Amino acid sequence: MALWLYERTLLLRRPIRPLSAALLLCALMLFPPLLARQADVKRAAVENALDSIPVSVVLSDIRGTGTEDIGLPRTIGDGFFDDRPGTTGEYVYGVLAKSSVCYSIGGEGFTSERRLIGLSALEAERGFTPAGGNRIEWLGCEGESLFYGSREACAAPKELFSALEPDPDGVYRVRLRLRPYPAAEMQETQIVLKVAGVHDRGADVYCPLGLIRRICTDMAAPMYYDSLRAEVKSNRGLPALKALLSEHFAGIDPFADPYEYMRKGVYAAAVIHDEQLNQTVDALEKDIRTLETLKPFLLIFECAAAGFASFFLVHSRRRELALACALGVRMRAAVIAAAAELLILLVPGAAVRNVIFGFGAEAAALGSISVCTLSGGCAAALAAGARRFELLKESE
């Protein structure tokens, strides 16, 4: 009881040192979960970035590997529209694709400036959209839905439309002769398209992409995509998408052999616009790695600081401890009293930590700091007890 009397008077009459020690220990105990929370915040930001930052895949101005091939083969392009497992379509959405064949009217010849262009959606040709400066006058109620599906309908250029006469049912139709683009001499077909709209952008006729597919199939001609753009459904599927694309495109893997496309015969015009995602995620992951690297060093520092603080707190009272032992306090009791005082000083910090970060957060770190605190204090108490006679002989 006498020992507790002394501890009590100490806490009541000179509270600055124990309060300072309690504050220091509180701060030290808050650090590890604070760091862990920072790392968690960064990880959540990584997840958020993966969920929210848009990534697009762009295949445009496609050229082969120095051969005569032009355009992305249908088998590859169609994969973007096919959302079955294992296809590129499983990983993308909002595909905007364009493919074309040449057309002529009447007895005119075929030129590359008169094309029947199939679009998967109006936005597949930026210059064709109203935002791109093009005006489209829709004759019926189809509007942009013209390009969905494979109906035999089109948006015709103004010059072409002005030469047409409506059918008895009031519908304008145009008969076109078609050849694949680039043209092959023996492949040709004809088609009659309903004019659903009129535009003033060049001489090209625009129709649904599905119609071009059908036309090429009818002509037994290969179909090539002129351009293809899509949004990635989930950035978490990006690695798998890149693996799929790298079967046909070089440059997907920045660490791959830059000349592999010459050996593999793959295309080299695919671009995945994930720069913003990579920048964001890389920066966050760098921060996370830094925090994880710092964690053990900070913990060592905190344990050392706690141990030293408790050591010096008890050491500052070494004469009183020695005196207590000289008066008949057991060494064990003195050490227990010092440990109990330190435990009391640890409680506020532990309580604050549990309230803010939850019970169990970084419990190992809390345990380490507590053990070092108790060890430092007990070591000082034992040292004082062992040197009691010398300490008591020293002048104050």
Q: How far is the CB of 375 from other proteins (least distance, A)?
A: 24
Length of the chain, please?
A: 396
Q: Which is nearer to other proteins, 116 or 391 (CB)?
A: 391
Specify whether the CB–CB gap between 133 and 140 falls below 8 A: no
DSSP E strands in the chain: the ranges are 56-60, 72-73, 92-104, 115-119, 136-138, 153-157, 173-180, 189-199, 205-208, 224-232, 270-273
Q: How far is the CB of 349 from other proteins (least distance, A)?
A: 24
Q: How far is the CB of 287 from other proteins (least distance, A)?
A: 48
111 binds other proteins (CB under 8 A): no
Beta bridge partners of 273: 56
Please give the residues from 351 up to 390 whose contact with other proteins meets the rule CB under 8 A: 388-389
Query: Residue 19, SS3?
Result: helix
Binders of other proteins: how many residues, by CB under 8 A? Answer: 25
Specify whether the CB–CB gap between 201 and 189 falls below 8 A: no
- CA-closest candidate to residue 191, choices 244, 143, 221, 152: 152
Q: Which is nearer to other proteins, 9 or 112 (CB)?
A: 9
Please give the residues from 13 up to 52 whose contact with other proteins meets the rule CB under 8 A: 13-14
Please give the residues from 307 up to 336 whose contact with other proteins meets the rule CB under 8 A: 319-320, 323, 325-331
Q: How far is the CB of 341 from other proteins (least distance, A)?
A: 14
The single residue among 2, 163, 184, 351 that binds other proteins, judged by CB under 8 A, is 2
Cβ-Cβ contacts under 8 Å for 169 (sequence gap 6 or more): none
Q: How far is the CB of 345 from other proteins (least distance, A)?
A: 17
Q: Which is nearer to other proteins, 283 or 333 (CB)?
A: 333
Q: Which is nearer to other proteins, 4 or 301 (CB)?
A: 4
What is the distance between the alpha carbons of residues 204 and 207, in angstroms, rounded to a whole number? 10
Q: Left if phi > 0, otherwise alpha if psi is -120 to 50, otherwise beta: which for 259? A: alpha
Q: How far is the CB of 286 from other proteins (least distance, A)?
A: 52
Which residues contribute to the site for other proteins (CB under 8 A)?
A: 1-2, 5-6, 9-10, 13-14, 319-320, 323, 325-331, 388-389, 392-396
